Structure 1
Amino acid sequence: MKLLYVIGSMEVGGAEQHLLRVSTGLCARGFQPEVFAITIGGPLTRAFLEGGVPVHGVALPGWACRILRSERAIARAGLLYSAVAFWWLLWRRRPQVVHFFLPAAYIVGGVVSLFGPRARKIMSRRSLNLYQAKHKLFRQLEHWLHPRMDKVCGNSAAVIQDLYSEGVTKDQACLIYNGVNVEHFLLPERRAKVRSDLSISDETLVFVIVANLIPYKGHTDLIKAFAKIQHLILQPWVCLCVGRDDGIASTLHEEAVSLGIGKEIRFLGSRKDVPELLNASDIGVLCSHEEGFSNAVLEGMAAKLPMVVTDVGGNAEAVINGLTGLVVAPKAPDELAEALLAMVQNPERKKMGEAGHNRIVTIFSMDACLQGYADLYRGSDAA
């Protein structure tokens, strides 16, 4: 079965990495996935190609950029150029399924696909619909496209409820949770070396947050929370902030320094050794203001970390409060501080990590996720 995925870019993000795992995993199950990226290039391109998944896309020619000059004009022309290229690819490849990931890909690809050859059309929403309040045109176009899709997927029950509120029917809706390759995130033998490479002693308590530096990921809340409890943590500690800087790293660092924890908050940037970093850590954190369903939470649980997460999107569907971690309100630094301190002082936190790992194995494995997609593409409602 030929599958054509459409996504905005090949940058390192949760949706992009999820699509990488899904598309390469489906290759082994007899599917023939390909990807069209609206913005071509990006660090994940090579990983898709090495996994046997062709990547398509176009870039506006240099001569066109020189003529247009204006960044806005170049962006609009580039989008139109990509739309035409995608339309042509549809007719050349004639996939049986076209699957759109994230709003930009859905709007551009969804509209264009209506003028392409017959194919089953699927959209995946991976966040709550809060962004629609800021982008009313997106909201109008998405609501117009929904009834023209064969299936509309969400990665958490919270996302599915959003889709129902937008007019998606129960027959259309499909819940497929994110999945994790557990064996990739259970590397206890790497702990000592990673700590040594980062100059972290054995007795140091290590927190880790894996999230690109974007305001809604809540790093400011986390820094404020740590500032409130820094003198109550009775051992050396650090917090590893892993993720791409989207322009706020310097501001966050300055805030940490001003609150007296500049040395403890470490910004590591985008990393390829996330599993190793998780295994070198003791407590996982995700303090987002909004989420669909976080891969980072599942990966932390797979690495046996007790998690402290905010109650947004599907976080509370993954983390069972009091059993595999602690769930707190978003945008509440004081409550986050209390939860972090409670986790530090909890002698049973390793058992929480074990329980979280077991939950991943039984519910959120990559095999279960891939089976959900395979059922969806084959026309089964089992997912």
Structure 2
Amino acid sequence: MVKKNIWQKNNRVFYVIGSLEVGGAERHVAQIAVRLKKRGWEPEVFVLTPGGPLTRLLNDAKVPIHGVTLPTWVSRLFKNKRLQARVGLMLTSVALIYTMWFRRPAVVHFFLPAAYVVGGLASLFTRVPARIMSRRSLNNYQAAHPFFAKIERYLHPRMTLVCGNSRAVVDELVREGISEQRLRLIYNGIDLPPYDHSLDLDAIRAEFEVPDDALVFVVVANLIPYKGHADLIKALAKIKDELPEPWSVLCIGRDDGIGADLQQQANSHGIGPNIRFLGSRSDVPTFLRLADIGVLCSHEEGFSNAVLEGMAAGLPMVVTDVGGNAEAVLDGVTGYVVPAHSPEHLAGALLKVALDDGRALMGDKGRERVREKFSMNACIDAYEALYREVGAQLR
């Protein structure tokens, strides 16, 4: 009876996520929270590590944000960093339990493994009517964290529903013991307007010192080993003498510690001047619009927003066959799908599309595919249907 009353009295959706830094999952949560707010829902966000650039987006939309900043007395009292982290985790867990009790959401929705483990366990001490977990990557991370993998499997049957953002992710969840009846597939969605308005591309190329006649590749991925930048450098080194001159690669994404090594690798292959690491950017659509070819050469993915963004900008995409990449890119139609960890195959696909006079048509087909299947409106519709389905189950 309590669950029924809570659901009928509010439509509050409580999201739990690790941070509000600029990442695919973080941007996704911020975007759906803002859109649902406009549609009359009451989204709120609990962040395990408060702060981050996306905080402003939620604040501007008046979406409440909760979280705990580690008090200064903790660092003064506990000098050991590991002990500080444990105290911080305890305080965060207590705050999360209290917030869920106090705010009384109709549904709590966990995104990413850390939020699932911490938030999922915390939610068991509350009277939350419904729990949903969304996984947005393959479960490769579990090999390095077997204890947390056990916690996830403990939590799985305690979720009302579980979501994956690609068929590859959903299939892995089935193998982890979740029944098909409790699994839902919700693809990522892309806001299309940023890719529709006209831009003075010549002026933008001049601003960033990109020659008007340059062939431009663009990669939107944080500098993390599994994103495959090293494979891309090796692939480009193989075809550097066959690519039309001049050519350039724009790498957009936060440096998580390997940027200097990647630059050194590029220099050693004689292509250092061709590759530019631009760091994290808030104007990604602009760089996608001035590019000619999009690339994502990850070793693992769930379902990449970067691929959809490149397609929305009208770029033919060259991607690795991991996660949901092949569900987005139609091989030979909107781009090319190649094996991961294979600079040879990557090089062949990059050269093929670079020398293809009809690559703009591939980009046009990719843009149309995003409009039909991967728009943000379609994504928000799916989340609304998900929450209404949960509500119906609780009545």
Bin the TM-score by the shorter chain: over 0.9
Give unmatched runs, 5+ long, in structure 2.
1-10
Amino acid in structure 2 at the alignment position of 1:2: R
Counterpart in 2 of 1:182? 192
**More deviation in 45-54 or 287-296?**
45-54
Distance in 2 separating the partners of 1:72 and 1:318: 41
1:86 paired residue among 96, 99, 118: 96
Shift of residue 188 of structure 1? Answer: 4.4
TM-score (norm 1): 0.98
Is 1:18 aligned to 2:51, yes or no? no
Counterpart in 1 of 2:261? 251
**More deviation in 35-44 or 353-362?**
35-44
Shift of residue 207 of structure 1? Answer: 0.3
Counterpart in 2 of 1:260? 270
Asked if 2 retains the 8 angstrom alpha-carbon contact of 1:187 and 1:279, the reply is no
Shift of residue 299 of structure 1? Answer: 0.3
Q: Give 1:352-371 correspondences, 5 Å limit.
A: 352-371=362-381
Is 1:60 aligned to 2:45, yes or no? no
Q: In angstroms, what is the RMSD of aligned CA positions?
A: 1.2
Q: Structure 1, residues 57-77: CA drift from partner, whole Å, max 9, x if none?
A: 011210111110111111111
Counterpart in 1 of 2:248? 238
Shift of residue 116 of structure 1? Answer: 0.7
Is 1:104 aligned to 2:104, yes or no? no
Distance 1:235 1:187, change over 3 A: farther
Q: Structure 1, residues 335-356: CA drift from partner, whole Å, max 9, x if none?
A: 1000000010111100000000
Counterpart in 2 of 1:317? 327
Distance 1:190 1:162, change over 3 A: farther
**More deviation in 288-297 or 37-46?**
37-46
Asked if 1 retains the 8 angstrom alpha-carbon contact of 2:215 and 2:244, the reply is no
Shift of residue 29 of structure 1? Answer: 1.2
Distance in 1 separating the partners of 2:154 and 2:216: 47
How many residue pairs match? The answer is 382
Q: Give 1:1-383 correspondences, 5 Å limit.
A: 1-379=11-389
Partner-residue secondary structure (3-state), 1:352: helix
Asked if 2 retains the 8 angstrom alpha-carbon contact of 1:212 and 1:242, the reply is yes
Shift of residue 45 of structure 1? Answer: 1.0
Asked if 1 retains the 8 angstrom alpha-carbon contact of 2:160 and 2:390, the reply is no
Distance in 1 separating the partners of 2:315 and 2:166: 21
Shift of residue 381 of structure 1? Answer: 11
Distance in 2 separating the partners of 1:252 and 1:51: 38
Partner-residue secondary structure (3-state), 2:348: helix
Counterpart in 1 of 2:7? none
Shift of residue 119 of structure 1? Answer: 2.0
Partner-residue secondary structure (3-state), 1:99: strand
Q: Structure 1, residues 85-106: CA drift from partner, whole Å, max 9, x if none?
A: 0001011100001000000000
Distance in 2 separating the partners of 1:347 and 1:319: 19
TM-score (norm 2): 0.95
Distance in 1 separating the partners of 2:198 and 2:354: 20
Asked if 2 retains the 8 angstrom alpha-carbon contact of 1:304 and 1:353, the reply is yes
Give unmatched runs, 5+ long, in structure 1.
none
Q: Structure 1, residues 114-145: CA drift from partner, whole Å, max 9, x if none?
A: 11123210000000011111110111000110
Asked if 2 retains the 8 angstrom alpha-carbon contact of 1:225 and 1:337, the reply is yes
Shift of residue 51 of structure 1? Answer: 2.1
Q: Structure 1, residues 136-165: CA drift from partner, whole Å, max 9, x if none?
A: 011100011000000100000000000000
Distance in 1 separating the partners of 2:335 and 2:347: 14
Asked if 1 retains the 8 angstrom alpha-carbon contact of 2:320 and 2:337, the reply is yes
Counterpart in 1 of 2:6? none
Shift of residue 190 of structure 1? Answer: 3.9
Distance in 2 separating the partners of 1:185 and 1:329: 29
Asked if 2 retains the 8 angstrom alpha-carbon contact of 1:187 and 1:276, the reply is no
Distance in 2 separating the partners of 1:374 and 1:243: 31
Amino acid in structure 2 at the alignment position of 1:10: L
Distance in 1 separating the partners of 2:200 and 2:299: 32
Identity of aligned residues (%): 55
Asked if 2 retains the 8 angstrom alpha-carbon contact of 1:180 and 1:298, the reply is yes
